A and B are shown apart, each in its own frame.
Chain A
Amino acid sequence: MNLVVLQNWLNNVSFAVLFVTMLIYWGGTAFPRIPFLPILGTTGMVIANLCIATLLGARWLEAGYFPLSNLYESLFFLTWGITTIHLVAESMSRSRLVGAVTAPLAMGCTAFAALFLPAGMQSAEPLVPALKSNWLMMHVSVMMLSYATLMVGSLLAIAFLIVTRGQTIELRGSSVGTGGYREHSRLRRAVEPVAIASAIGSNGSGNTMVLNLETNQKSAISQVASLSPQRLNLAETLDNISYRIIGLGFPLLTIGIIAGGVWANEAWGSYWSWDPKETWALITWLVFAAYLHSRITKGWQGRRPAILATTGFVVVWICYLGVNLLGKGLHSYGWFL
């Protein structure tokens, strides 16, 4: 098949699939009792992910270089990253809430690329000399992946804020590890019979938090009211997954920035030149470093780290798009001429 036709087709299919997937996830969140919706949502995400991978692959074949030369390609690469990290976060948390926040983001990015960008900005363009480098591929692709990861992580922090609105909550999970202890408010010895067997590994789709109270009569543990594990609730799970995903995005951002620095030094002799895009990458990095540290600070417990992560979501977007709209500096692609 003609590569260009294939690309156009995949472009539309990705958007349509993500749109439907978003509706499925929202439906699943609103009506948790409807079966199959979580599976359908995950399937939608996988299909979109593969479509976008094929789309980018076709571009690569057609243009002969890694497809990250313009906004259209970078938006699709970002969406590919978002859907990938979505799948990671969903399998980590087994919660359908993940898709309720990530699907609209993925859909929005493809909509912007496929529907709003003028045709002239969608076609592949030759690379300018400054961009012909393997460092560029390293730098830009890792940066894009880190944006995708940080966006998903901070969206989960937003979901956490929504779930816990009006509550005070104690965080679990941080580099110093304060989260491993029992809360006093919850009984040391669980009185209600809680089956371990039924609570784990059951439905791969979500509802991890709902302790299944019916099926555990035969369980050895439940018969004696003895010491049993205190499980994480929905809010705690969301918070921890958000922390883990941001914790994954942070090293990616670090490596991406360093790769950019090394590349800049090899190409024009300075690993840091305070170009606006560079500076915003540093700002993003600082905000998420502050987030990681806020989790281990006494005075910053509860919802405040998540608020910082929410700020981080805005900052990543400014770093990714806002700076280009300012239209200055090295990273407007083609500064050399």
Chain B
Amino acid sequence: MKTINLFFQRFFKTEVLPLLANLQLAILLLLAIAVFSVTGTVIEQGKSLAFYQANYPEHPALFGFLTWNLISTLGLDHVYRTWWYLALLILLGATLGACTSTRQLPALTAARRWKFYDQPRQFEKLALSAELETGSLQSLAALLEKRRYRIFHERNFLYARKGLVGRVGPIVVHISMLLILLGAIWGAMTGFMALEDFPSGETFKISHIVEAGPWFRSQLPSNLLVRVNRFWIDYTPEGGIDQFYSDLSILDSQEHELKHKTIHVNDPLRYQGLTLYQTNWGIDAVQYQVNNSPILQGKMAPLKIGGKNRTWGTWVPTKPDSSEGVFLMAQDLQGTLRIYDASGKEVSTVRTGMSTEVNGVTLTIIKVVGKTGLQIKADPSISIVYTGFGLLMLGVVMSYVSHSQVWALQQEGHLYIGGKTNRAQVAFERELLDILDLLDQEPKEQISELSLTLSNEVVKRS
């Protein structure tokens, strides 16, 4: 058993890890995820089978191959939840982990290690290197310091560097990507999302769950109630919608208020891991009187009518035996309703609080009752994902910094200077040439003597 274990450990280390840490694989994965993501934006997602059968027939197949059968077999109707898409994401996570541990952490250690160059020929391999007869290590140190280098200085050697964070950046990026992926998986397993729509005054228990991970029960308190105290819409003077408001209370099973807040779009209510968002609205009912009848309430139903405005309507009987009546239609909560007769002809409009004569009766509209559309969500992974987001932003910014290094050696009347950077070649070339230029303008001296009497100051400061 132990040997088998050992064998697998060995196999993992020598075969699997290097394969996973392969950059070509990483690039292919990134591009593959990109390409498969495109399919989900081109093919409609989450429609019924009938929809795909109607739009992607067998004959003639779109582009000669894209049929509804292929779509449903491959899961192209829900790309981002197919096993193969999730497998790609998990594989990406695995390469990220492998890469960070086997390549990048060692590379960072290597980058932090440095040594002085003590041979002129060491400078020859650097693209940006020069041999001067003027200038001194001190003046070089001063120039580098002005450019925010950290300087190490000993006898006739000098080493300077800046931008080491640029080496740390990618590691932070990769670790934060891992955090985000893990957080997303955790959230998918434990979170849930529910949609509820209720009119003002109603109390409900969260029950219309539309999405949930296998372990979501732990997130949904069974004894919690929500009451919609009031729902309303503010309109702009031009009649457009300004904002939606729901005045909500969270209640325990005895209907004691635990929390109270008026929410609107972009400002949800949070309670113990649950978040209630304002996401939708509708018209629930209309209250009216016919002649001197008591106040009656008609449920408004959403009507599918072309155009972008939503409309709700209800049938109001105008005869006691319901043999005659009118349609009341409303598009918003501003209080205007249209009245249509049985044949569908518009006969009148009426405002709330007003009356009108139809079919020989007086119809008085008391009020139009709106209902709020709430999205209720629990996602315990949010803190992990947000931490990942924060680190990712930090990491990508750090990754912009170029890590620059400069070496110098003063020997036999010559000043050898060389440097390199990893990212900003052009800017670094300019910086180094600038320095060389300034050194070049210094008076020619016997610099070999000077090199032995270096001030200790620079050494101390670094």
* A interface with B by C-beta (< 8 Å): 92-93, 126, 128-130, 132-133, 135, 172-177, 179-183, 188-189, 196-197, 199-201, 219-221, 224, 226-232, 236-237, 240-241, 243-244, 247-248, 250-251, 254-255, 258, 261-263, 265-272, 274, 276, 279-280, 282-283, 286-287, 289-290, 293-294, 296-297, 299-300, 323, 326, 336-337
| Docked complex Cα distance between A174 and B120 (Å) | 26
Does B399 belong to the interface (CB within 8 Å)? yes
In the complex, are the beta carbons of B440 and A196 less than 8 A apart? yes
- Give chain A residues whose Cβ lies under 8 Å from the Cβ of B414: 226
- Give chain B residues whose Cβ lies under 8 Å from the Cβ of A172: 127, 425
Does B385 belong to the interface (CB within 8 Å)? yes
Give the contacts of B171-186 with A (CB-CB under 8 A).
Answer: 184
Q: Tell me, rounded to whole Å, the shortest Cβ–Cβ distance linking B95 to chain A.
A: 11
Q: Which residue of B lies closest to A226 (CB)?
A: B131
| Docked complex Cα distance between A221 and B132 (Å) | 6
| Docked complex Cα distance between A265 and B400 (Å) | 28
Mask, B56-82, CB within 8 Å of A = 1, is 000000000000000000000000100
Q: Tell me, rounded to whole Å, the shortest Cβ–Cβ distance linking B263 to chain A.
A: 11
Q: Tell me, rounded to whole Å, the shortest Cβ–Cβ distance linking A86 to chain B.
A: 16
14 new A-B contacts at CB < 8 Å, known A201-B430, A244-B426, A282-B37: A128-B241, A173-B423, A174-B422, A175-B170, A175-B422, A180-B127, A196-B130, A201-B437, A226-B131, A227-B120, A251-B396, A255-B396, A274-B40, A286-B31
Does B436 belong to the interface (CB within 8 Å)? yes
A-B contact count (CB 8 A): 224
Does B249 belong to the interface (CB within 8 Å)? no
Q: Tell me, rounded to whole Å, the shortest Cβ–Cβ distance linking B194 to chain A.
A: 10
Determine the interface band of chain B, counting residues with CB < 8 A from chain A: 35 or more
Does B236 belong to the interface (CB within 8 Å)? yes
Known: A196-B440, A199-B433. A258 touches B41 (CB 8 A): no
In the complex, are the beta carbons of A268 and B375 less than 8 A apart? yes
Q: Which of B33, B41, B193 contacts A286 (CB 8 A)?
A: B33
Which one, B20-28, B253-261, B316-324, B339-347, is touching chain A?
B20-28
| Docked complex Cα distance between A237 and B425 (Å) | 8
Mask, B27-40, CB within 8 Å of A = 1, is 10011011001101
| Docked complex Cα distance between A278 and B37 (Å) | 11
Does B371 belong to the interface (CB within 8 Å)? no
| Docked complex Cα distance between A128 and B24 (Å) | 45
Q: Which residue of B lies closest to A258 (CB)?
A: B389
Q: Tell me, rounded to whole Å, the shortest Cβ–Cβ distance linking B164 to chain A.
A: 12
In the complex, are the beta carbons of A227 and B124 less than 8 A apart? yes
| Docked complex Cα distance between A174 and B134 (Å) | 33
Give the contacts of B413-430 with A (CB-CB under 8 A).
Answer: 414, 416, 419-427, 429-430
| Docked complex Cα distance between A261 and B183 (Å) | 14
- Give chain B residues whose Cβ lies under 8 Å from the Cβ of A180: 126-128, 419-422, 425
In the complex, are the beta carbons of B130 and A228 less than 8 A apart? yes
Most chain B CB neighbours (cut-off 10 Å) among A177, A183, A200:
A177
| Docked complex Cα distance between A70 and B396 (Å) | 30
Does B153 belong to the interface (CB within 8 Å)? no
In the complex, are the beta carbons of B396 and A93 less than 8 A apart? no
In the complex, are the beta carbons of B433 and A175 less than 8 A apart? no
Q: Which of A129, A200, A269 contacts B277 (CB 8 A)?
A: A269
Does B304 belong to the interface (CB within 8 Å)? no
21 A-B pairs whose Cβ atoms sit less than 8 Å apart in the complex: A129-B243, A130-B266, A133-B266, A175-B166, A176-B107, A180-B419, A196-B437, A197-B441, A200-B437, A220-B440, A227-B129, A227-B416, A229-B127, A229-B433, A244-B423, A244-B427, A268-B279, A269-B377, A289-B30, A290-B27, A293-B30
Q: Which residue of B lies closest to A199 (CB)?
A: B433
Does B113 belong to the interface (CB within 8 Å)? no
Does B242 belong to the interface (CB within 8 Å)? yes
- Give chain A residues whose Cβ lies under 8 Å from the Cβ of B426: 92-93, 173, 232, 237, 240-241, 244
In the complex, are the beta carbons of B400 and A248 less than 8 A apart? yes
Known: A177-B420, A228-B131, A269-B375. A323 touches B41 (CB 8 A): yes
Known: A274-B45, A287-B31. A227 touches B123 (CB 8 A): yes
Q: Which of B40, B265, B399 contacts A251 (CB 8 A)?
A: B399
In the complex, are the beta carbons of A270 and B424 less than 8 A apart? no
In the complex, are the beta carbons of A200 and B425 less than 8 A apart? no
| Docked complex Cα distance between A247 and B299 (Å) | 58
Q: Tell me, rounded to whole Å, the shortest Cβ–Cβ distance linking A289 to chain B.
A: 5
Give the contacts of B422-462 with A (CB-CB under 8 A).
Answer: 422-427, 429-430, 432-434, 436-437, 440-441, 444
- Give chain B residues whose Cβ lies under 8 Å from the Cβ of A280: 41
Does B240 belong to the interface (CB within 8 Å)? yes
Most chain A CB neighbours (cut-off 10 Å) among B27, B131, B427, B441:
B27
- Give chain A residues whose Cβ lies under 8 Å from the Cβ of B422: 173-177, 179-180
| Docked complex Cα distance between A272 and B381 (Å) | 13
The 8 closest A-B pairs by CB, nearest first: A180-B420, A177-B422, A251-B396, A269-B377, A227-B131, A286-B34, A173-B425, A226-B131
Known: A269-B377, A280-B41. A182 touches B30 (CB 8 A): no
In the complex, are the beta carbons of B277 and A251 less than 8 A apart? no
Known: A177-B422, A251-B397, A267-B266. A287 touches B130 (CB 8 A): no
- Give chain A residues whose Cβ lies under 8 Å from the Cβ of B425: 172-173, 179-180, 232, 236, 240
Q: Which residue of B lies closest to A296 (CB)?
A: B23
